[in-house]
Amino acid sequence: MHSHTYKKILFVNPRFPSSLWGFQGIAQLVGVRSGQAPLGLATVAAMTPPNIEVDLQDENCNPVPLDTDADVVAIGCWSVQYDRARELAAEFRRRGKLTVVGGPYPTLCPERFADGAFDVVFDGEVEITWPQFCRDLAAGSPRPIYKQVGNVDMRLSPVPRFDLLPKGDYLYYFVQTTRGCPFQCEFCDIIITDGRVPRLKSIPQVLTEIETIAALGGRYVSFSDANFIGNTKYAEQLLHALVEFGRANGFPLHFSAEMTINVAEKPRLLELLREANFTGIFVGIESPRIDSLVETKKRQNVHKPLIESVRKIQSHNLIITAGMIVGFDHDDVRIFQEQFDFLMDAGLPFTTCGVLTAIEKTPLYARLEKEGRLLPYDSASIRAHGADDLNFVPKLMTGEEAHRGYNWLIRALYKSENYGTRLVQALRQFRPRSGPGRRSPDQLDWRLLRVAANLIRYFLLTRSRVRRRFFLQTLWQIMRSEPSAEKLISALGYMIGHKHFHEYVTATHGDPEAVGRVSPFAEAPPVEDWWKGEFNKEYVKDLKKELYAGAKGLARVGRRLRGAVAVPEAFLTDKVGECLRHYLNELGVEVVPVATAALSRLRDQVDLLVMPILGSVRKGREELYQILQHLHERVHAEMDKLPKVVHFPLDEDHRGVFDGFVRIGLTFTRRIERLRQAYKKAVETVMFPSGQAATRSGLVKTS
């Protein structure tokens, strides 16, 4: 080990990969560098003796200075940071630094850190072992492994060094009041690392941390406890203290926390959450299927109807962030539509929906290993929330079906229109605030003015009609009924969040705007019934909105219709593309075949460019997929030089394909009956040229 006098420790938070939780996409609008402050490192820094200088660098905010004057570099590590933590350790060791690692991943999987990539490894909580390490450091003999045996009394945990976190870098500060959760969800690793008996900080400890954050100018505090109400009596005492703190200081902070859905059965806690100025909570709902909840031992979610519990919570002016999972043993391909419908009905705008992953050491991992269903995977490579990290063989569907269904689900959830609908539904449940627990309104300062200017620039001064319509329509629907400053601030905050969610999903899974509201596995009716069933009263009502947006769209920019649509040449050889050609011909619209190289000449020749979307490679469509991927890149790069682009989903069910036809047709005619006839004739001509009857949808099968 190093023979050295150690005078300074640099704490390093490695870069996180992009995820739904990362909030990297909001920096442009709100001016922060990262969504969440690194609580663990700030806490360990506070345990360091005053004779050792400390510094903290967060790679999620700024590049980490490799040529530091620190003698020791202490690196925090979650599973998704593992590879980057090793890279940083190698760089610092090359420069003669003593490298230390600790955090959730070394605690869960210490065997991954036994190869000597770090000089010192901490396994477990460090309130006792870190001071011991510092004493060993002073003596010049640090040990290679520090392992905490048993759980730590949280009253030993100091007030974190929040002063090491540059002001304005973070959206949220974190405070931890308890460790451990009394429940035993099969897939969760919290009960493995933290135990099942909640351990508590004292109320004065927590208040000191809250006061410190407020004094530093923080505005948003999220309690990082796995279950804020794991000890109901303690939670009630803490909430009373937070109410008093708020009243005495003008409610300077907004709070959020993670808790179980049975908070809906605790009316006094709900009232206190509201009075204390909580604005949102994270709830692990996981699934609308009772069998799946029972399977994973999420029994606290089956006491009451889920929608009833959600409404009770929302009525206390709390927006729920929903943890949702697909891939349980009781899930078949219908689960994707069920998840979507539940989230839309419940009004849950932000959801960390993901595919079930068996995490090492959990009961789920042990069961699947015993059943021989685990697939080879590296836990350090998982993308976590908002990803399809399937590492086992599903029971009631294939792996390909799980990936395909999830790809549709996550894109459909973050499609602008659908997200806006859920946000409107959530805020409709809000009640006017009154009484002594009322929070003070945000002061109108230069920061809010700057955010407002950025919002206008991003959502209104844009070429994106989808983005502009999402912003204006969502705000109008929210504020037309019982408008309030609270609703407005909440709406703007969640629309800012949507910028990140939409960008992440687009980059990871594909364009959300290109999918319909029905999953790829929804049963299609006979093709002969399409034009009857689709043109029901509700659909015709929706069509009228599209008529205004589509038929009037080009007129708004002062252009006359040319009666021409550009369609990729490769798509016209596909059955669906051939059907589209006949459909447009029936409407008297010219079809202009186009190759990638000719894109730049289209603006003055056609009214629309049809952009087919294939989310995954399908048998028989490999070449088409490659061509469309290349074309999509060109279209994205030259969007401002092109005519209006209409996305046409090919991975969707019959309704998604049908919507593509309708949206294109609306540009050229307001007569619904004409659209119906053109569509019917095109399908019959291409799919059934001899006029025979159809029992199932050939168009859907080929798409």
3-state SS string for 215-246: HCCCCEEEECCCCCCCCHHHHHHHHHHHHHHH
Structure confidence at residue 700 (pLDDT):
37
Instruction: Identify which of 412, 688, 415, 409 has the alpha carbon closest to the alpha carbon of residue 530.
Output: 688
Q: Label residue 459 by pLDDT band (50, 70, 90).
A: very high
Helix (H, G, I), strand (E, B), or coil: what is residue 248? helix
396-406 pLDDT, tens digit each: 999 999 999 99
Q: Give the separation between CA 165 and CA 171, rounded to whole angstroms.
A: 12
pLDDT of residue 396: 92
pLDDT of residue 3: 52
Residues of CATH 3.40.50.280 domain(s) within the chain?
A: 8-154
Model confidence pLDDT, tens digit, residues 263-315: 999 999 999 999 999 999 999 999 999 888 888 888 888 888 899 999 999 99
Task: Please tell me which residue, 677 or 46, carries the higher pLDDT value.
Answer: 46
Residue corresponding to tokens 């729920």: 320
Euclidean distance between CA atoms 446 and 570, whole angstroms: 53
- pLDDT confidence tier of residue 631, bands split at 50, 70 and 90: confident
In the block, tokens 């087919």 appear at: 612
Both tokens assigned to 455 = 């919002």
Percent of the chain clearing pLDDT 70 (strictly above): 86
Angle at 83 between CA 82 and CA 85, to 5 degrees: 65
Backbone φ, ψ for residue 599 (5° rounding) = -55, -40
Q: pLDDT tens for residues 575-629?
A: 888 889 999 998 999 999 887 656 777 878 888 888 887 655 455 666 777 777 7
Nearest-10 Cα torsion for 51, 147, 193, 224: 0
Q: What angle do CA 517, 521, 525 make, to 5 degrees?
A: 85
**Range list of β-strands (E), 389-524:** none
- Give the pLDDT mean for 334-340: 93
Q: Regarding beta strands 199-200 and 178-179, do their DSSP bridges make them parallel or antiparallel, or are they unpaired?
A: antiparallel
Give the closest residue to 696 by CA, choosing from 535, 564, 528, 552. 528
Query: What pLDDT does 556 receive?
Result: 39
CA angle, 205 as apex, 16 and 313 as ends, to 5°? 65
Among 133-142, 382-391, 560-569, the minimum mean pLDDT is found in 382-391
- Over the chain, what is the mean pLDDT? 85
- Average pLDDT value for residue range 632-636: 74
Q: How confident is the model at residue 694 (pLDDT cuts 50, 70, 90)?
A: very low
Q: Residue 326: its pLDDT value, please?
A: 95
Quick check: 195 pLDDT over 60?
A: yes
Looking at residue 444, its pLDDT comes to 46
Q: Are 403 and 396 in contact (CB under 8 A)?
A: no
DSSP symbol at 431: -
Among the ranges 416-425, 511-520, 588-597, which has the highest mean pLDDT value? Answer: 416-425
Least confident of 20-24, 123-127, 591-595: 20-24
Query: CATH number of the domain at 177-201+246-522, please?
Result: 3.20.20
Span 8-154: which CATH code? 3.40.50.280
Higher pLDDT, 150 or 548: 150
- The rounded Cα 578 to chain-centroid distance in angstroms is 37
Domain boundaries for CATH 3.20.20 within the chain: 177-201+246-522
In the prediction, which pLDDT does 436 show? Answer: 43
Which tens digit of pLDDT belongs to each residue from 199-217? Answer: 899 999 999 999 999 999 9
Instruction: Check residue 689 and give its pLDDT.
Output: 57
- What tokens were used for 568? 């990729």
Token pair, residue 566, equals 């550009």
DSSP letter for 448, please: H
Examine the pLDDT at 527 and tell me if it is beyond 50: no
DSSP 456: I
The pLDDT of 19-35, averaged and rounded, is 81
Model confidence pLDDT, tens digit, residues 535-568: 555 555 555 554 445 444 444 334 577 889 999 8
In this prediction, what percent of the chain has a pLDDT beyond 90?
A: 55
Burial of 596 from C-beta contacts in 10 A (0-12 / 13-18 / 19+)? middle
- Rounded-to-integer distance, Cα 101 and Cα 74, Å: 6
Q: Are 35 and 16 in contact (CB under 8 A)?
A: no
Burial of 230 by CB count in 10 Å (0-12 exposed, 13-18 middle, 19+ buried)? buried
Contact status, residue 349 vs residue 502, Cβ threshold 8 Å: no
CB 646 within 8 A of CB 611: yes
Instruction: Tell me which residue of 352, 661, 340, 287 sits closest to 504, measured CA to CA.
Output: 352
The more confidently predicted of residues 445 and 64 is: 64
For 154-178, write each residue's pLDDT tens digit.
999 999 999 999 988 998 999 999 9
pLDDT at residue 329, as a whole number: 93
Q: Which residue has the higher pLDDT, 653 or 205?
A: 205
DSSP 3-state of 351: strand
Confidence at residue 104, expressed as pLDDT on a 0 to 100 scale: 93
| Amino acid (1-letter code) at residue 429 | Q
Region 432-436: mean pLDDT is 62
C-alpha distance from residue 413 to each of 258, 261, 501 (Å): 22, 21, 10
In the predicted model, is pLDDT for residue 47 greater than 90?
yes
Separation CA 222–CA 528 (nearest Å)? 54
